[in-house]
Amino acid sequence: MKLVNIQRKVNKLLGFDKRYWGKRPNGLYSFNYHRIGDKDKTQFDPNVFSCTEELFEKQIQFFQLNFDVVTVNELKLLLSKDKCDTGRYALLTFDDGYIDNYTIAYPLLKSAKCPATMFIATDFINKPLLPWWDEAAWLIKNNDEELFQGLQWDLPDNIALLSTQNKVKQLLRSIKDNKTLSLEEKFNLLRAKAKNTYKHNNNQEKLFMTWDMLREVSSNNIDIGSQTCSHQILSHLSEDAQNYEISKSKAILEQEIGKTIEAFAYPVGGSEAFTKVTQKIVKESGYAFALSFIPNINTRPLHNQFSLNRFSIDNECTTNDIKAYISLAAKNYRA
């Protein structure tokens, strides 16, 4: 992507990795992945691919060399004792429960003896359900521009001129930003405009892990956390619906995995994706902490362990790119 390449050049020119990398503060550095593999081979959303298998293997080594990579229990202890400033800690996370987390990421993590946490949207496990962001991508890839015409919410004027990958990104951005229509209403409008609509068949790409896979990774140094049942944007839901999504997913995971689930990640996760009410529900549901998708370093004193920051790993970024992201955050922290 041009914007990403420009940002990488800016980071390099400003030399953030040289000036601030060695001065990064103690604290919790949380990093988030979605899918691992080749984004050009998917029938669905290419933007959820964080990096290739080769890049991920290098990134594991990078994190282990530069941070103390922690488990959920270790992080819980650090948070309870307000000790996050005693070192540079990294929490590696995966959202959604995609099957390549098991087939690609898990073997590499296991071989490196590197802990990680996988946040699961329970509705997708053992079921052929298609998540809404992947359906949006499928609709774009299998329909013409009239899909975007006459919708009841705003889209960028130039969306029809963008690359397929950027069309997907812009459509999803508009879906996430719009609160006047429910997710179901928005997709009913999209499907009504589409000549071709998604119908599952066994020849299509398998997307999500099974419960057996999750039980296996859980017994091999991978923690399991919740990301609700249906992965809807919590701030768009009623308080009762939020409570159901947050507490029900915890109960399902604990029944299937046989362990207490103490970590939560907000779907979408930006500052508009959850509220103080959401955080209250997460806390009262028995979680020890929750992660947002707001990029920053978690330094002491922590203002709220139910809105911990995470850096997104995406667009096939390299370890040098990750150093630049962290260095920029360190620069802003020191300012």
Residue spans of the domains in the chain: they are 2-68+84-129+210-334, 132-193
Distance CA 203, CA 224 (A): 29
Q: Between the CA of residue 261 and those of 17, 264, 267, 288, what are the distances in Å?
A: 36, 8, 17, 9
pLDDT value, residue 3? 43
| Exposed/middle/buried for residue 2 (C-beta within 10 Å: 0-12, 13-18, 19+) | exposed
pLDDT value, residue 9? 56
| Exposed/middle/buried for residue 53 (C-beta within 10 Å: 0-12, 13-18, 19+) | middle
Distance CA 322, CA 81 (A): 29
Is residue 67 within 8 Å of 29, Cβ to Cβ?
yes
Cα-only R_g, the chain: 20
The fourth-level CATH superfamily of domain 2-68+84-129+210-334 is Glycoside hydrolase/deacetylase (3.20.20.370)
Strands 116-120 and 311-312: unpaired
pLDDT value, residue 14? 47
Distance CA 271, CA 309 (A): 10
Tens of pLDDT, residue by residue over 160-181, are 888 999 999 999 999 998 888 9
Q: Which residues pair with 96 in a beta bridge?
A: 120
Residue numbers of the chain with a pLDDT score lower than 70:
1-18, 301, 334-335
pLDDT value, residue 135? 95
pLDDT value, residue 17? 54
Convert the chain into a string of H (helix), E (strand) and C (coil). Answer: CHHHHHHHHHHHHHCHHHHHHHHCCCEEEEEEECEECCHHHCCCCHHHEEECHHHHHHHHHHHHHHCEECCHHHHHHHHHCCCHHHCEEEEEEEEECECHHHHHHHHHHHHHCCCEEEEECHHHCCCCCCCHHHHHHHHHHCCCHHHHCCCCCCCCCCHHHCCHHHHHHHHHHHHHHCCCCCHHHHHHHHHHHCCCCCCCCCCCCCCECCHHHHHHHHCCCEEEEECCCCCCCHHHCCHHHHHHHHHHHHHHHHHHHCCCCCEEECCCCCCCCCCHHHHHHHHHCCCCEEECCCCCCECCCCCCCCCECCEECCCCCCHHHHHHHHHHHHHHHHC
Distance CA 186, CA 181 (A): 6
> In this structure, what are the phi and psi dihedrals at residue 95, rounded to the nearest 5 degrees?
-105, 150
pLDDT value, residue 195? 93
Is residue 25 within 8 Å of 330, Cβ to Cβ?
yes
pLDDT value, residue 1? 41
pLDDT value, residue 283? 97
